[in-house]
Structure 1
């Protein structure tokens, strides 16, 4: 991966909204089962990905994705990929994903009651259960996704391209274990079943991004509230398993995204970065994307004054946030980037977003406006740093 040798390079966290609005509408209908995933849908998805690739390049982004368009991480998506899964109706007191039962939700029951009533589709009315051995079933869908992205990239210049794939320590947020004897065995099985996906992305010539909110956002979902040391043991199981899954891939072909969950809410129970930063840095990867733009984490640039970024690594702080619809001013973006450049070295910083700017986070117009502000802020920072 490229370092910022003469200016601050710009990227983002992965998910984007398509400028082809017809696709977003059709994609929702397919996800909800009202329309089939037929040839017409696939053709529109290819067109939407081509649009989103072109839009990123027009905006001046240096490291781009396919926007994760058409990838719904739910039962049909994973049932195509692995054995051992069942989909069940929720029983009384159960949730479809671990984040729907948390100490943050306990602290703000009125807020979440109001919010959930307005977005019932998000609450996962069913749960995915692991009832048998997890094995890789097929990479056909992944290969199709990669081929579509590469076709959209063809002849488009020198931009680096990354492809996000989920981490084992996030999969267990919405795949519930009823087969393996221990947490360690379950996470090891998830990591091994995901390993071929990570390798397939890199074999196709792309950078693989490991999406892993689970390193941080599992903290408020555990009962009783763990001590920091107890949580670090829980997190280390997941870090070790991910390292094992990445064992065949050179570090310079891997970037990692850590956030505290994409939902909009108080995030008052977020675990401070300082408690897990060393675990994150122990991963055999080159680039680390972290939340840094929202008000729960903006101050954590100071962590990097105390924690040395290892030689050759890249830090991608989120300098615009999906947790507010206010578009950050380019001067603020520049200030944030300069802080990080002063802490870890200008050549080791890329401008990024807190999390994906796609559907369900901010309105697509606002998401793209934030990216435009990020690019402009990176130019302002570069003028001062070089």
Structure 2
């Protein structure tokens, strides 16, 4: 994994806006229609996307999660829901359950509430239930539930994703490419009617997802683990748990992830931490300071995290007190998915510099808070990536003068 040796490199958190023809093709396939030349269409779209990332100044490119179906331009969930299409042992849960009752591994039972019942949504119920608010939450979708032994069935899908990205990087003349895959802790946030306990369920998901991890690494790509659950679960526990209880709860998920990553090279793995990408107040978010020690136990040398949205931008100061372990790299979000305002390059540079002066310029790669695809309009997303690149150039001029 490249480091910022002579300038600040740039990347992003994974999802990028889908084109109109890709959204239309995904919608047709979801409706059961045959899409002529689907494989060629997807390959072409990924190749065009990689070239466009390079034009925008992105150094460490990805496939935009194009192989993870998105049937509308605005879609907050494809990063997560894709795995259910690649896993055996699931059935639709007509009750729409998001998670089931669970217990912390230390005293103090808690219940993870249903999707749409976050504590943030309870605190701002009027805003969340107002269709004119911009953060309206309608009827919850139908989620799957675990009803049998979990087994990975996505070999052909991941092979196609890998082939498309590899071909695109060859055409573009770059080897610096990454691909995302879900973490066991995030995958497990659905109802479970088969496994005896939380640990067994997490272990099963770890075994399922390891197949994707190995395939991505073996293909010579960088693996990015998408895992909002470590931070986001905190907002879905009612009542609010004590921090020490929540960390014990989270360590089970870190252990499951590390089990899935066993034997894989940590210098080719990046871990994406975020607080969920929904556009809400986020007043009940857990602080970075509370969980960074747990996150640093993950067997990944790079950490991508939200550092630009206004609920977490101040947390760069965490690195005044937390020492970045040897070999670790930070990919802070310096442009955000949470606003349509395009960040000025000088602000982007400021965000980069204040973190680089704390952890070392070679240990910072400028990135996005979260995936831009499905969160902001395509035109805005690409303007943000251009501002990201321009800001990194300004920061480089200051840091290497």
| Bin of the TM-score, shorter chain as denominator length | over 0.9
2:128 aligned counterpart, secondary structure: helix
Asked whether the equivalents of residues 184 and 253 of structure 2 are also in contact (C-alpha less than 8 Å), the reply is yes
Deviation at 1:229, TM superposition (A): 0.7
Match of residue 108, structure 1, among 109, 120, 124: 124
Q: Structure 1 residues 345, 143: CA separation in 2 closer, same or farther (over 3 Å shift)?
A: same
**Is it true that 1:318 corresponds to 2:311 in the alignment?**
no
Q: What residue number does 1:86 align with?
A: 91
Asked whether the equivalents of residues 163 and 207 of structure 1 are also in contact (C-alpha less than 8 Å), the reply is yes
Q: Deviations over 1:2-49 (max 9, x none)?
A: 11000000000000014x432233334444x2x625333333222221
Q: Deviations over 1:203-261 (max 9, x none)?
A: 01101100011110010101222110111011000001101110021101101100000
Asked whether the equivalents of residues 95 and 101 of structure 1 are also in contact (C-alpha less than 8 Å), the reply is no
Q: What residue number does 2:180 align with?
A: 164
Q: State how far apart, in whole Å, the 2-side matches of 1:164 and 1:75 are.
A: 10
Asked whether the equivalents of residues 329 and 364 of structure 2 are also in contact (C-alpha less than 8 Å), the reply is yes
Alignment of 1:297-336 (within 5 A): 297-336=312-351
Q: Structure 1 residues 273, 101: CA separation in 2 closer, same or farther (over 3 Å shift)?
A: same
Alignment of 1:1-386 (within 5 A): 1-18=1-18, 20-31=19-30, 33=31, 36=33, 38-72=35-69, 73=78, 77-90=82-95, 94-95=97-98, 98-115=114-131, 124-173=140-189, 175-359=190-374, 361-386=375-400
Matched positions, count: 379
Which region of structure 1 is more displaced relative to structure 2, 51-60 or 149-158? 149-158
Deviation at 1:137, TM superposition (A): 3.0
Q: Structure 1 residues 122, 343: CA separation in 2 closer, same or farther (over 3 Å shift)?
A: farther
Name structure 1 gaps, 5 residues minimum: none
Q: Structure 1 residues 252, 259: CA separation in 2 closer, same or farther (over 3 Å shift)?
A: same
1:84 aligned counterpart, secondary structure: strand
Task: Using structure 2 for the length normalisation, give the TM-score.
Answer: 0.89
Name structure 2 gaps, 5 residues minimum: 70-77, 100-112
2:87 aligned counterpart, secondary structure: coil
Deviation at 1:127, TM superposition (A): 2.0
Asked whether the equivalents of residues 95 and 124 of structure 1 are also in contact (C-alpha less than 8 Å), the reply is no
Q: State how far apart, in whole Å, the 1-side matches of 2:138 and 2:361 are.
A: 39
Q: State how far apart, in whole Å, the 2-side matches of 1:376 and 1:37 are.
A: 42
Q: Deviations over 1:302-348 (max 9, x none)?
A: 01111111111110000000000000000000000001101100000
Q: State how far apart, in whole Å, the 2-side matches of 1:258 and 1:135 are.
A: 26
Which region of structure 1 is more displaced relative to structure 2, 283-292 or 80-89? 80-89
Q: State how far apart, in whole Å, the 2-side matches of 1:191 and 1:221 are.
A: 22
1:131 aligned counterpart, secondary structure: strand
Q: Structure 1 residues 243, 95: CA separation in 2 closer, same or farther (over 3 Å shift)?
A: closer
Task: Using structure 1 for the length normalisation, give the TM-score.
Answer: 0.92
Q: Structure 1 residues 3, 294: CA separation in 2 closer, same or farther (over 3 Å shift)?
A: same
Q: Structure 1 residues 138, 354: CA separation in 2 closer, same or farther (over 3 Å shift)?
A: closer
Q: Structure 1 residues 381, 118: CA separation in 2 closer, same or farther (over 3 Å shift)?
A: closer
Q: Deviations over 1:167-194 (max 9, x none)?
A: 0111123x32111111111111111111
Q: State how far apart, in whole Å, the 2-side matches of 1:358 and 1:375 are.
A: 18
